[in-house]
Structure 1
Amino acid sequence: MSALAGIGALAADPAAWVALLTLVVMEIVLGIDNLVFVSIVSNRVAEAERPLAQRWGLVLALLMRLALLFVLAWIISLTQPVLRAFGHDFSWKDMILIAGGLFLVYKATTEMHERIEPGDDGASSARAGASPLGLGGAIAQICALNIVFSLDSIITAIGMTTQVPIMMAAVVVSVGLMIVAAGPLSRFIARKPTIVMLALGFLLMIGMTLIADGFGLHVPKGYIYSAMVFSGFVEAMNQLARRSRSGIRA
C-alpha cells in the first residue's frame, strides 16, 4: 500500500513530470544509435520475419533495462576501478564500453565489406547488399549490443533522478516509441543503399566513441549527434539532387 501511495505522490508532483519528460527525451536521444543498429541488422533477416526481429529485439532490450533498474547498487559499483593498465584505471563499465565499441566497429566494417565486395553468388548477392541472417542470429546480435546501450542509458538515468518509478516509466515510453519507429526506419534504410552506408558510418563512429569513452577520453554527445545531423542533411541534399536529375532526364 505504501508503494502505491509513493507512486501516487509522484504522480501529483509537477517536478516528477518534468523529470519524466526530460528523461524520456534523453532516453530517445540515447536510443537513436541503437535504433540504427536494429534497423540494419533486421534488414538482413527474411522480409516476413523483420517485424518479429525488431519487436523481439527491442522488447528484450526493454526487459534488460527494467531488470538493470532493480540492481542500481551493482550498476553504480561498475564505475569503480578494478584494473590498471596503460597508465589508466579501468572499471567494469569501461571494459563493457570498449567491448561494445569493438563489436560495433567489427559489425560496421564487415557490413560495409559485404556491400562493397558481394559474395560468390554474384548479382543476387549484390542486390541483397549483404548475406542473409537468421531470426535467432539477428535477435542475439540486437540483445548483445543492447547490453552496452542499456548500461549507458541506465547510468544516465541514475544521474538525472533517484526515483526508480520515473526511470521505469521513461524506459517503457522510450522503448515503446523505438518499437513504433523501427519498422519505418528499416524500410527507409532498405530502399536507399547510400543511406545504409551512411548509417554504417554512424555505427563506426559510435563504436570508436565507445572505445574512447572506455579509455577515459569522453567525447560530448552533442558533437556526435551534430555530426550525424549534418551528414544526414548532406545526404538528404544528395537524394534531392539525384531525384531532380532523374526528372530532367525523363
Structure 2
Amino acid sequence: MELLSNPEIWISLVTLTVLEIVLGIDNIIFISILSGKLPENQQKKARQLGLALAMITRVLLLLSLNWVMGLTATLFNPGDWIGVSKEGLLEKMAISGRDLILIIGGLFLIYKSTSEIHEKLEGQDHQVEGGKVHSFSGVIFQILILDIVFSLDSVITAVGMADEILVMIAAVVIAVIVMMVSAGGISSFVNQHPTVKMLALSFLLLIGVSLLAEGFEQHIPKGYIYFAMAFSVLVEMLNLKMRAKSKPVQLHNSPGNADYRE
C-alpha cells in the first residue's frame, strides 16, 4: 500500500511505460514484417505469441537483475590479444556479455533487413524465400532471437529509471498489452503499403547498425535515431495522403481524356 500512495512511484510507472512503448515500436515492426510471411490465418497468432514472448523475456530478465548487470562486466579486450596497451581506443573496445549480445543481435537485424529489402526488390513471393515456405516455428524462433536483444536494452533502461522491481515489471506488462492491442493495426498498415514497408525495413536496418555500434561502445544518441524515424514517417504520411488525392496524368490524345478524338 505504501507503494500505491507514493506519487513518485506513479510518475516512474507512467514515464517508464511510455518509454517501454517507444522502445517497443521497432519490436512491433519486426514482428509485423515476419508474421506477414505466414498464411493470413496464422499472422495474428504469431504477433500475439511474439509479443507474449517479449513480455516473458523482459520479466525474466528483470527478475535476474544481478545476472543482467553482470553482463556489463568486461569479458575480454582486443588489446590483450595483440599485446597493446589498453589505454585509448582499445580500452573503449573492451567487450562485455551485453556487448556480445548487442553485436550478434545487430548483425542478425542487419542481415534480416537487407535480405527482406532484397526480396521485396526482386519481387519474390512473400511466403517463399530460397524456394522454402516459411514455417510458423521458424518465424517465432526469429522473433524470439530479436526479443532477447530488444529486451536486454529495454531492461537496462528500466533499471536506470526506476528503483522498484514491481514498478519495472508493471511498466513492461502494461507496455506489452498496449503493443498487443495496436499490433494488428500497425501490421495491416505496414503490409498494405509497400513504401511504408520499405521504410520500416530501413528503420530496422538503422537500428541494427545502432545495436552494432553500441556493442562496440560507439554510442549513438537514441534521440537522433527516433527523430529521424519520426521525420521520415511524417514525410511518408504526407506522400500517402497526396497519392490518395492525386489522379493519374491523362495525355491529350488518350482515350480517358474528354477531348480525345479518333
- Which TM-score applies when normalising by structure 2? 0.86
Task: List per-residue Cα deviations over 1:73-93 (Å, max 9, x = no partner).
Answer: 110110111111262201110
> 1:10 and 2:3 equivalent?
yes
Q: How many aligned residue pairs are there?
A: 236
**Contact (CA 8 Å) 2:127, 2:134: kept in 1 or not?**
no
Distance 2:233 2:64 in 1: 38
> 1:92 and 2:93 equivalent?
no
Q: What does residue range 82-231 of structure 1 map to in structure 2 within 5 Å?
A: 82-85=75-78, 87=90, 88-119=93-124, 125=125, 128=126, 131=129, 132-231=133-232
> 1:58 and 2:70 equivalent?
no
Distance 1:17 1:133 in 2: 43
For structure 1, which segment, 144-153 or 110-119, has the greater mean C-alpha deviation from structure 2 after superposition? Answer: 110-119
Please state whether the residue corresponding to 1:9 is helix, strand or coil. Answer: coil
**Contact (CA 8 Å) 1:189, 1:195: kept in 2 or not?**
yes
Q: Which has the higher helix share?
A: 1
Distance 2:136 2:183 in 1: 16
Distance 2:23 2:219 in 1: 15
Larger-Rg structure: 2
Task: List per-residue Cα deviations over 1:90-131 (Å, max 9, x = no partner).
Answer: 111011111111011000000011111134xxxxx2xx4864
Task: List per-residue Cα deviations over 1:163-203 (Å, max 9, x = no partner).
Answer: 00000100000011111111111100111011110000000
Task: List per-residue Cα deviations over 1:184-227 (Å, max 9, x = no partner).
Answer: 11100111011110000000000000001111111111100000
Percent identity between the aligned chains? 46
**Contact (CA 8 Å) 2:100, 2:215: kept in 1 or not?**
yes
RMSD of aligned Cα (Å): 1.6
**Contact (CA 8 Å) 1:84, 1:90: kept in 2 or not?**
yes
Please state whether the residue corresponding to 1:45 is helix, strand or coil. Answer: coil
> 1:236 and 2:241 equivalent?
no
Deviation at 1:137, TM superposition (A): 1.3
Deviation at 1:248, TM superposition (A): 7.5
Distance 1:193 1:19 in 2: 38
Deviation at 1:158, TM superposition (A): 0.5
Distance 1:130 1:118 in 2: 11
Deviation at 1:133, TM superposition (A): 2.2
5+ residue gaps, structure 1, are: 1-7, 120-124
Distance 1:63 1:50 in 2: 20
- One-letter code aligned to 2:34: V
**Contact (CA 8 Å) 1:58, 1:175: kept in 2 or not?**
yes
5+ residue gaps, structure 2, are: 80-89, 251-255, 257-262
Distance 2:144 2:127 in 1: 23
Q: Which residue of 2 aligns with 1:5?
A: none
> 1:45 and 2:38 equivalent?
yes
**Contact (CA 8 Å) 1:115, 1:130: kept in 2 or not?**
no
Deviation at 1:246, TM superposition (A): 2.8
Distance 2:227 2:106 in 1: 20
